[in-house]
Copies of this chain bind each other. A is one copy, B any other.
């Protein structure tokens, strides 16, 4: 704990900012958090934005560290695998992990954020200031500019240490973009997304398997559905913006209905408000943001989507941001109040991994919308889980390294590529798991992969 209480200013009380304020408060810092939106615990959330999230190992670890895990588990729904809805309305279940301990959890973004804010404010020295819009930062003066959205008044706050958790459109990062030699990229997919809904059944029950993430893979596009505690499912349609089919050509209620009748008849039967939802909810964009550096000396640092927004196809956006908090907290353990070293070490450990999960998430879009429907892909998935059982020190499937372990994302991506080659070799020309020549596998694995435990620490 610092000698005299140091103040820290956070920009943004979303998931990452709220969690970080708790980590910092537990270390003895006084934290002021400035948030653009009104307090979501008082105001009603707007439609089309209540996206649910897939909580997995890294997020669980962070929530456990701050003591919030049990409360979140009470409102989370385990999803044991993918339920694939084929073009003929067939159903195929693909487990995510090796057993029922390896599951991911559907949680509501709003519920999770509210509980994080409550816990943050239970600390005497954390204050969240709502409806305060950040307009950028002057790094030399360590001054953050704000506008009070209720009164319209502009003002500035100076603080020795500022951490921006202000999301993909981060005003603090935009101020960094104007500094010399700041590297930045924003790349958008040709696909957008639209949130839709399946209500609870008449008896209040779930109309699809509750403990699964549902996917309707259709090659160039897909529909997914995640369960909510009230028996409903939140659905998301991922589709190209232009072309046919595409959001731009789905411009009438009849056209939307005909598209769903053709592509997703089993889902359509459960979606009484499809046309209304489709035209009242916005079409969202899907982009990847990368930048470097992530900090300006000891004055300011970026965390979460502000420095590494990713597409949602690995379910890791929140989990990665939470892991940022865990790692920043470790750096505070190591370097105390030397914020320059803290920020530099945090950047060193996280940048390479944020780049890796951005790439993994882009790659997984192809897998989700196309390859999950391929029997050979399913066979490779099964073989991967068998290899994990037989050679646990060498082989953990890529999805498992990312989702059920805290293997650094960069290590998971590199080992995942090698493992993919091995899986392709072992299953070439083979249709059943019984035909796989597992005796060959050991030699291939041990010559091309270092033992997992030996490598795990090599990249933070």
A241 at the interface (CB under 8 A from B): yes
Among the 9-residue stretches A14-22, A103-111, A180-188, A266-274, the one with 4 or more Cβ atoms under 8 Å from chain B is: A180-188
Q: How far is the CA of A241 from the CA of B293 in the complex (A)?
A: 15
- Secondary structure at the A interface, as helix, strand, loop or mixed, is strand
Chain B neighbourhood of A241, CB < 8 A: 181
Closest Cβ–Cβ distance, residue A238 to chain B (whole Å)? 14
The distance in angstroms between the C-alpha atoms of A183 and B241, with both chains bound, is: 15
Q: Are A185 and B184 in contact (CB under 8 A)?
A: yes
Report Cα–Cα, A170/B107, bound state, in Å: 43
Residues in A398-416 with C-beta less than 8 Å from chain B: none
Within 8 Å CB of A177, what residues of B?
186
- CA–CA, A183 to B288, complex, Å? 10
In the complex, what's the smallest C-beta–C-beta distance from A187 to chain B, in angstroms?
5
Whether a CB of chain B sits under 8 angstroms from the CB of A287 is yes
A285 within 8 A of B: yes
For window 176-202 of A, CB contacts with B under 8 Å fall at 177, 180-188
User: Which residue of the partner chain, among B185, B186, B187, B287, contacts A187 with CB atoms under 8 Å?
Assistant: B185
Which residue of B is nearest A183, CB measured? B187
5 sampled A-B residue pairs with Cβ under 8 A:
A181-B287, A182-B188, A183-B186, A184-B184, A184-B185
Chain B residues whose C-beta falls within 8 Å of the C-beta of A184 in the assembled complex: 184-186
The residues of B that contact A180 with a CB separation of less than 8 Å are: 285
Residues of B within 8 A of A185 (CB): 184-187
Assembled-state Cα–Cα distance A180/B283 (Å): 11
Q: Specify the chain B residue showing the minimal Cβ separation from A187.
A: B183
Contacts of A287 in B (CB 8 A): 181
CB neighbours (8 Å) of A188 from chain B are 181-183
* Chain B residues, Cβ within 8 Å of A183: 186-188
> CA separation between A439 and B181, bound complex, in Å?
50
- Complex alpha-carbon distance, A183 and B184, angstroms: 11
In the complex, per-residue mask of A409-432: 1 if CB is within 8 Å of any chain B CB, else 0: 000000000000000000000000
Q: Please give, as numbers and ranges, the residues of chain B lying within 8 Å of A285 by CB-CB distance.
A: 180-181
CA distance A188 to B188 in the complex (A): 21
The minimal Cβ–Cβ distance linking A135 to chain B, given in whole angstroms, is 15
Chain A 234-254 per-residue mask, 1 if CB under 8 angstroms from chain B, else 0: 000000010000000000000
